[in-house]
Amino acid sequence: MDNITVKFGGSSLADAAQFRKVADIIKADSARKYVVASAPGKRRSADTKVTDMLYAMYGRAEIGEDFNAILDQIEQRYMSIIDELELDFDLEPEIEAIRYRMASSPERDYAASRGEYLNAKILAMYLGFAFLDPAECILFDRSGKLLSEETNERLAAKLVDNPYTVIPGFYGADGDGNIVTFSRGGSDITGSLVARATKAEIYENWTDVSGILTADPRIAADAKVIEYISYRELRELSYMGASVLHEDAVFPAKKAGIPINIRNTNAPADKGTMIVSSVAEGTRGHVTGLAGKKGFSSVRLEKTMMNNEIGFGEKLLAIFRRHDIPFEHMPTGIDSICVIVNTDRLHSCRSEVLLEIEQQLSPDSLTIEDDLALIAVVGQGMSRTKGIAARIFSALASAGINIRMIDQGSGEMNIIVGIDSSRYEEAVRALSTALF
């Protein structure tokens, strides 16, 4: 292997001891040419991420309150890294530049971006690598949308002939030079963009877990590391709540066919999870993982001869659209239809939605059931394999859990079950034991 992009998350760069581990990993393989850095994360569970401190600082600056105490704490976080690593890094002018901007024209994204900016600068010095500010090459339009092709060209122009460079994650700039950040966790996207632009053979995403697990380990203690997963499977799991990688980080790497390897900075010998375009048949079981979420409601209509009424579904969905409520699933029967939506989204307009359905569609019955949890069982080979649905349903039946809804995703690689929220954890445990 000759060209690898590596990204280190906040916990991997939270203090000097973590910086040392990161440097060991990078120096262990000269192919690790491009390094994307997050801001310092939590050193222990009760700690605060530097990004959160920066948002808090901005919150005060924005309303003209004194933000200096928070900035001093941020300075201390970086100073302890610099001192312990015995670096000759002049932090003072950097902190004063932030103080000046916060006092004169505070901007939220600028403030948040300083976490990765400073961490990447310090890391570059520690490694003896060059530093590239993404404000010069990760480009957004004025509405905050990433300009992916322009970004790809600019990044390639800056990086291809300059290996051994550190790039701060999480931000870029718009055409006026204003800093724009991705959503939280967005350094993963930066890593993917850099991997694509430099035609990396692999994008290593280093974090604090040894890969993506078959189920949420906080609930299912027997969850196992997934060795191989496809981009599409990962997207299904991420959508349903599995959160190892930022959802949007998959796209640039996928476009360029670059595998993403999730690795553990604290256990570098672990192989982690490999995210690839497709997983060859026979290399693993047919069920890859499961993930779920609570907090859904099911709006259910019954109407005799509904199936003959052309446009019925369209009229129903238009009501949800007018209230800006996206729907998750829509299981239908001959005389009934169910729309599954997020309960919070329905909250503010519940009675209007019901009234409009009554008035426009005159159903024979209309009910809303809340406290629904959805669990998606995901696996590329699932739809062609006998017996998986049976295993899912019998695991839930043996645990005495009633299934309120079943939906086989149209992508044919997931089965979604809706159950009572109060049984969610039990259901995840039962499925994890039965399937993996």
- Residues lying near ligand ASP in the complex (CB under 6 A) are found at 9-10, 38-39, 49, 51, 115, 169-170, 184-188
Strand partners for 365 = 302
State how far the Cα of 378 lies from the Cα of 207, in Å rounded to an integer: 23
Select 168 or 272, whichever has its Cβ closest to ligand ASP.
Answer: 168
Which position has the token pair 């709006």? 299
- Of 12 and 414, which has the nearer Cβ to ligand ASP? 12
To the nearest whole angstrom, how small is the minimum distance from the Cβ of residue 3 to ligand ASP? Answer: 23
User: What are the backbone dihedrals phi and psi of residue 334, each rounded to the nearest 5 degrees, phi first?
Assistant: -70, -45
Tell me the closest approach of the beta carbon of residue 149 to ligand ASP, in angstroms.
23
Tell me how far, at minimum, the Cβ of 208 lies from ligand ASP, in Å. Answer: 12
Q: Please name the residues in contact with 140: beta carbons below 8 A apart, sequence gap of 6 or more.
A: 146, 147, 172, 173, 174, 180
Q: How far is the CB of 13 from ligand ASP (least distance, A)?
A: 9
Q: 109: helix, coil or strand?
A: helix
What residue number has its CB nearest to ligand ASP?
Answer: 187
Smallest separation, CB 66 to ligand ASP (Å): 24
Which residue reads 């632009």 in tokens? 197
Q: How far apart, in whole angstroms, are the C-alpha atoms of residue 353 and residue 38?
A: 43
Report d(CA 4, CA 203) in Å as an integer.
6
| Ramachandran sector of residue 409 (left: φ over 0; alpha: ψ -120 to 50; beta: rest) | beta
Which is nearer to ligand ASP, 170 or 203 (by Cβ)?
170
Of 237, 140, 240, 122, which is closest to residue 182 (Cα–Cα)?
140
- The residue among 155 and 220 lying less far from ligand ASP, judged by its C-beta, is 155
Q: Which is nearer to ligand ASP, 38 or 165 (CB)?
A: 38
Nearest distance in Å: CB 40, ligand ASP = 9
Q: Which is nearer to ligand ASP, 77 or 429 (CB)?
A: 77
CB of residue 402 vs ligand ASP: minimum separation in angstroms? 38
Sorted by sequence, the CB contacts under 8 Å of residue 319 that are 6+ apart come out as 353, 356, 357, 360
Cβ neighbours of residue 237 closer than 8 Å, sequence gap 6 or more: 212, 229, 288, 289, 290, 291, 376, 378
**Distance between CA atoms of residues 225 and 119, nearest Å:** 30
* Smallest distance from ligand ASP to CB 112, Å: 7
Which one, 188 or 407, has the nearer CB to ligand ASP? 188
Q: Which is nearer to ligand ASP, 115 or 259 (CB)?
A: 115
Minimum distance from residue 54 beta carbon to ligand ASP (Å):
9
CA 332 to chain centre: 31
**How many whole angstroms separate alpha carbon 428 and alpha carbon 219?**
7
Output DSSP code: residue 214.
Answer: S
Q: Where are the beta strands (DSSP E) in 277-413?
A: 289-302, 327-329, 336-342, 365-378, 405-408
- Residue among 189 and 375 whose Cβ is closer to ligand ASP: 189
Residue number, 185 or 379, with CB nearest to ligand ASP: 185
Alpha carbon separation from 266 to 18, 32, 163, 187, 263 (Å, rounded): 8, 18, 25, 19, 9
The count of residues in the chain is 436
Shortest separation between residue 315's beta carbon and ligand ASP, angstroms: 41
Give me the least distance between CB of 226 and ligand ASP, in Å please: 22
Cβ closer to ligand ASP: 52 or 62?
52
